[in-house]
Amino acid sequence: MWARVRAAEAAVGQIGTTLDAVTTCQELAGFLSWNVCDAVAVDLLADDGGLRRVATAGAAALVPAGAGAAPSVRASDGGHRLSEWSTFAGGVPVHVLSVPLPDGEQSHGVVTAVRARAGFGDHEAATVHFAARLAAVHLGHARQLATTEDTVSHLQRALVAEPGRPHPNLEVASRYLPAGPRVLVGGDWFETIRLHYGRTLLVVGDVMGHGLDAAVDMNAYRSTLRDVASTDLAPHRVLRQLDALAAGDAARRPATCLLVRVDPARGVAMFAGAGHLPPAVFGADGSASLVDVPVGPPLGTGIGGYEAVTRTITPQETLLMFTDGLVERRGEDIDVSLARLAAVRPPVGAGVTAVVDAVVDGLDARHAEDDVAVLAARARPRPSADPGAAPSGMP
């Protein structure tokens, strides 16, 4: 009895240390191989209804390809059957126990335990049975987490989606990359808003923190921004309005934000920031420089004090706006991080999308420690006059 209790305690401590299904199967196989048998294989149910082997331990060559001709049911606990048979593997007589990994009335898969020559005693069989049930519980949790993460990922992409349609005189490209193997919905976002006279407001923002609360606040900032921007205020005045409105909501999280109002017809862009990193401008030769934007406080603080700066922008230049996940690295000074961005060299003559690709690849953004949102824009060249056209006033 005490041997079974100690085995159960060991199983609880060694199986299900993470919420990853494959890791749980590897832990199950390792535990049984070390404590009970000579070889173990764990197969999970695949999408096509078949079984996919995800873990083995011990002398894997001893695991038979299939069940014996007439496996017997050694035990059954609430439909959780433990089947047993004897066969030969590699010329060696082996004894096999097969136990499903229960998932309600169905199964996550099956674990197969093998002992060479000697059979399984009651203690060993009970240990296999218990370990399989324990692993199945953790597999159920892992499956629920995977389903939740899939839902959250779709929610995040629906909230971020593609930016709005800018004026035809502006070409844009965007990218959103969630961070890490465990996708948590966050507050990174981008947007484009059409203004009067062919101008477009470009927006990148980042609500502090992760989780559904951050996503809800992000959506609130986006909605409020659209309303405020429709009044055609200058970018720094838009930030003042956003800050005042957000500060009046005690439950709303602070957020950083960068606004750029692009006027392709005049070849100018006006910048204003609220605690956000500066944008970069890539020239036709691929070289980059950072725009010196006055740094105001994050939105929601109620402090205000935002300023704007204007610079020229040509159809040969690509403006790149981003959230901090693109450049920041743990333990690294931010100036070093921004210098690494400025050192990226897209191919000469690269389009807007190619510039985004070059930056994402050059900074290994797919393995960033935080979510990454990138928005790039370039003014389309104005059509030149028909050289064959007659001058005004001439027939």
Place of tokens 């014996």: 68
Burial bucket for residue 23 (CB in 10 Å: 0-12, 13-18, 19+) = middle
Residue pair 370/209 in contact (Cβ under 8 Å)? The answer is no
pLDDT value, residue 395: 33
What are the helix (H) ranges across the chain?
2-14, 21-35, 122-160, 212-229, 235-247, 334-342, 352-362
pLDDT value, residue 22: 94
Cα gap 315→165, rounded to integer Å: 18
pLDDT value, residue 106: 80
List the beta strands (DSSP E) in 159-213: 170-177, 186-194, 200-210
- Give the DSSP letter of residue 335: H
Which tokens go with 152?
A: 């959250």
Residue pair 278/339 in contact (Cβ under 8 Å)? The answer is no
Cα gap 114→140, rounded to integer Å: 25
Measured in residues, the chain has a length of: 395
pLDDT value, residue 387: 47
pLDDT value, residue 83: 87
pLDDT value, residue 144: 84
Q: Could you report the average pLDDT of every consecutive run of 10 residues in the chain (395 residues)? A: 68 88 95 93 90 93 72 62 85 89 86 89 89 92 79 61 77 85 69 93 90 80 90 94 92 94 96 96 94 94 93 96 93 93 93 95 90 94 56 39
Nearest by Cα to 86 from 56, 116, 43: 116
Tell me the pTM.
0.66
pLDDT value, residue 163: 62
Using DSSP's 3-state secondary structure scheme, residue 108 falls into strand
Cα gap 273→259, rounded to integer Å: 6
Label the pairing between strands 318-322 and 308-312.
unpaired
